[in-house]
Structure 1
Amino acid sequence: MRFGSAPTGEAVDRHVLSNGRIRIGILTLGAIIQSVELADGTDVVLGLPTVADYFRRSRYFGALVGRYGNRIAGGRFTLDGSTYQLPRNNNRHSLHGGEIGFDRRIWQAEGGDERAVRLTYVSKDGEEGYPGTLTTSVTYTLTEHDELRIGYHAVTDAPTVLNLTNHSYFNLAGSGDVRGHVVTIEADHYLPVDEGKIPLPGAPTPVAGTPYDFTRPAAVGARLEGRYDHCYVLRPGGAMRVEEPVSGRVMEVTTTEPGVQFYTGHMLDGVATPYGSHAGLCLETQHFPDSPNRPDFPSTVLRPGEEHISTTTYRFTA
């Protein structure tokens, strides 16, 4: 169904997935997850009511971000001897694909039904400074087991770098803040960052004995005033768990990606967006920040003839 129109005049549609218990709203703008309504009617993701809000007031709410989610230092990287300059839209660095990333593009929907929808976007060579024409598809599937499965696929006609993720903010209470949510992340290491949130030189740091240790369940607000915005190096299998103790709602997350950016929404201010500090938390499954400049990190280079394939699954229980 029609949701609205972008400033360019392009139509923005909303597709609804349902398995009889959970209803999920997906927009063709930014491949955005606009809503996840559980069986009791509670919406557990932060969404906005209009297209205009997504252009004016969004902090990547529910969006698929790319070409490169997270940060690239100085907005610059070298690939096969050529240096590429990207928009520096986050202080001195490039964030989430640049000024007009995948979150602000209109995706083409195919084969939508009540259980799955596939969205595709073709990013032309040179868009936001990235080389190669990249064709990206994402398939959202709602299963009988109350799982939202996100399947990513991408191919390119020239060497490029790629780091796709979904930027949903979750609040399993449906309102209030998430500092009481209890989080488990199966990660023995994390990436310390500088003031620009670029990973520091050196190997990932063990979480043991630090406030960054979520290998055992811990409340978001129990340490560091609940202010996290860090990439964790996941164990094989990439399991995470979030529980809201009052309602008993639980979200379990698995991924094929090597890392997850755990962000607690503490920079939401309730002014530029309708949501205040800690209104939602993000588990952005992805490769590591600044990987194009860090040969010691898993590679994010995609070449012609290769396929980028990745899956992240969110399972909801109560």
Structure 2
Amino acid sequence: MKVLQEEFGQVDGKQVYQYTLVNEQGMRLSCLDYGCIITELFAPDREGNFENVVLGFDSIEDYLTHSPYFGAIVGRVAGRIAESEFELNGRRFALPKNEGQNHLHGGPRGFSHVIWDAAIIEGENESGIQFSYVSPDGEEGYPGTLQVKVTYTLNQANQLKIRYHATTDQTTLVNLTNHSYFNLSGDLKRNVLEHTLTMDSKQFFELDEALLPTGKLLNVEGTPFDFRSGRKIADGITSSHPQNVLVGQGYDHPFLLNKQQSQEMVLSDPESGRQLIVATEEPSVVLYTSNTMEDTFKIRGTQSGKYMGVCLETQGPPDAIHHPNFKQCTLEAGQVYQTETTYTFNGVK
């Protein structure tokens, strides 16, 4: 499986490249070395027709001006950190405030806004790109020099695998995710309200007014947050549940997964027959249904707006450093941060 490399634009005078992977079935993945952004992902419908199923742009200028993290790797820490500060080993660290008083997705110059080194992987049954980046001690306020690798591979089974790897020379925080917005209708024919999601989760994290976890886990039973038997995304948009209302009518919540690497999530578009199966080693996932997406730009000719995509951000619990009862995202010198998420695309008759 070959990999195509082409120029995509420039950021701060540096060339940005796009890499395209294609398998024998016709599935195609394109991604940038800027932010490891997945720009396009062509997947089959029930008739075998391949169309793009992620939100993105055709120019680097649009990513710089309009993108709400479309397709990017976010970090060092995904999600919000309360009051943009934390304490480690008796030391206090201050981070940039880029969402009110809080720190979001690694800051204004987080991993989604830098150019990564890229190495092409070509094999008979899969191809890929290994992105690497060295985040220096103190970058965006975080301690320790962090060496990060993110690998995207596409195989003949229509699977995209994302592997994360990081090491540090001093204790720091690491919690990475990919922020792709999925819309399985194909080429943005419709919004995602009629998409159905099945998710193996009995609890979700309660949020406060700043969309930060309160520390409390809520049971999904009897609520629009119960996806165990599958439900439409629209259920959360029409809901009067205080947590749906809080985030702008929809979902922007972390869910605790019952188990890992066993098809924890299945997203489907009944009209096209497209299905996305997500399996992860992570303990939780943030479900975001683009409730607050602005209608001020175009997405490849289609007007932006609410409910255009579904994000399934596999990761550790957000703001864990402020909640001792959460699984922590602390990485110490000598330890290895390593995790994998697999996305399998099918067309279901």
One-letter identity of the residue aligned with 1:106 = I
- RMSD over aligned CA atoms reads 1.3
| 3-state secondary structure, aligned to 2:321 | helix
| 3-state secondary structure, aligned to 1:52 | helix
Cα offset, 1:227, TM superposition:
0.7
- For the 8 Å contact 1:3–1:50, the answer to whether it is kept is no
**Structure 1 Cα separation of the partners of residues 53 and 215 of structure 2:** 37
**Structure 2 Cα separation of the partners of residues 7 and 315 of structure 1:** 32
Task: Flag structure 1 segments of 5+ consecutive residues without an equivalent.
Answer: none
| 3-state secondary structure, aligned to 1:131 | coil
Counterparts in 2 of 1:149-298, with a 5 A limit? 149-174=161-186, 175=188, 176-202=190-216, 204-225=217-238, 227-237=250-260, 239-272=264-297, 274=299, 275-298=304-327
One-letter identity of the residue aligned with 2:294 = D
Post-superposition CA distance 1:136-164 (Å, at most 9, x none): 10111111211100000000111100110
Task: Flag structure 2 segments of 5+ consecutive residues without an equivalent.
Answer: 239-248
Post-superposition CA distance 1:203-228 (Å, at most 9, x none): x1111111211111100002343610
One-letter identity of the residue aligned with 1:310 = T
1:27 and 2:40 correspond:
no
- For the 8 Å contact 1:44–1:170, the answer to whether it is kept is yes
1:304 and 2:333 correspond:
yes
Count of aligned pairs between the two proteins: 317
**Structure 1 Cα separation of the partners of residues 203 and 32 of structure 2:** 35
**Structure 2 Cα separation of the partners of residues 146 and 41 of structure 1:** 12
TM-score, L = length of structure 2: 0.88
Q: 1:67 aligns with which of 67, 73, 76?
A: 76
**Structure 2 Cα separation of the partners of residues 253 and 41 of structure 1:** 19
**Structure 1 Cα separation of the partners of residues 254 and 273 of structure 2:** 27
TM-score, L = length of structure 1: 0.97
1:83 and 2:92 correspond:
yes
One-letter identity of the residue aligned with 2:318 = P
One-letter identity of the residue aligned with 1:135 = Q
Instruction: Determine what percentage of the aligned residue pairs are the same residue.
Output: 39
| 3-state secondary structure, aligned to 1:196 | coil
| 3-state secondary structure, aligned to 2:182 | coil
Post-superposition CA distance 1:77-111 (Å, at most 9, x none): 10010010111111111000011110110010013
Cα offset, 1:272, TM superposition:
4.7
| 3-state secondary structure, aligned to 2:328 | coil
